[in-house]
Structure 1
Amino acid sequence: MNPISAFFHMLAGIFSGTGERPSPSDIVPISSIRYDRDTGILQVDLNHLNIPLAERPRVIAPQIPNTNSMDPAYDWGHTVVYLKGATEADHALLLDWLAAQPPRHRGNIMVGGGPGTGYYVTHRVVKVGHDRQGRYWRLKGDNSAVADRKILRDADMLWVGAVIIY
């Protein structure tokens, strides 16, 4: 076991008495992350994700605004790398994959909203459900006591958080 894995294994033992909360699905496998000690460059290979997309996903990495809604996960100035399917079919596959994850892995951070909803939000998925209109997504800020009032549909789900850089 490498030193980093051993450290996290030790932390798991210390915190084993805590309750389970929804955590993000593992989109980027550890085998796709490389650090070059000589150059100091961290590389994330998006060609081998845990989601079988036909094409390499689109990527954005905006700096987070100062809303405090996702404290303590991230705050103003942090950068989150978001993914979106390169095609409509790949984006639908990405959403299907996320929706199929067990409830304990429904904690992915998503950017949702857009012109059809009247707002944009970057919050964590707390529920995926179905009603007469089809699949819906319920989001909640980590620093909020309750889930967002508006539910979002697949067409409203714009980006999926994959990497947080502090």
Structure 2
Amino acid sequence: MTSTEIVVTGERADLLQLLAKHRGLFRFTAQGVTDEQARLRTTVSELTLGGLIKHVATVEQSWVRFIQHGPDAMASGAEDWADQHRLVEGETLEGQLARYEEIARETDELLATIEDLDASQPLPAAPWFEPGARWSARRVFVHIIAETAQHAGHADIIREALDGQKSMG
């Protein structure tokens, strides 16, 4: 069996390039970090490098499921909210980076192959969403890019406070 490479151009290529850029900056912050360091809080925030990587992967996966299956696919229990933001016993930074890589591949494949970027789903009921609003697949992909870039900045601050390493500059 041979696989056919998908050629992506235009808007989709731009979105994929932006995702790759910000994911690269985000992953760069974890280079050379031990599991112990990945669990350390270096600011007054609860955020850690390992927790951020886990969170970004989880949120990206949730938004992809939203595109594919609608708002019910985004449901997660409040009881696991805190654990979505930290490495829990048995989890490693390497494992979370591998998980993130797999989720990124799935996202990229969907972005490259989805039939209609204008296809929309109603947002789930939540205080941070406008009641009755719908988001297109395009808007979700742009949101994933924005979330990744924002959290890459958070990760850069945490890493710099950890050992002086910076992503840029």
Q: TM-score range by the shorter chain?
A: under 0.3
Choose between structure 1 and 2: higher helix proportion: 2
- TM-score, with normalisation over the residues of structure 1? 0.22
Choose between structure 1 and 2: higher strand proportion: 1
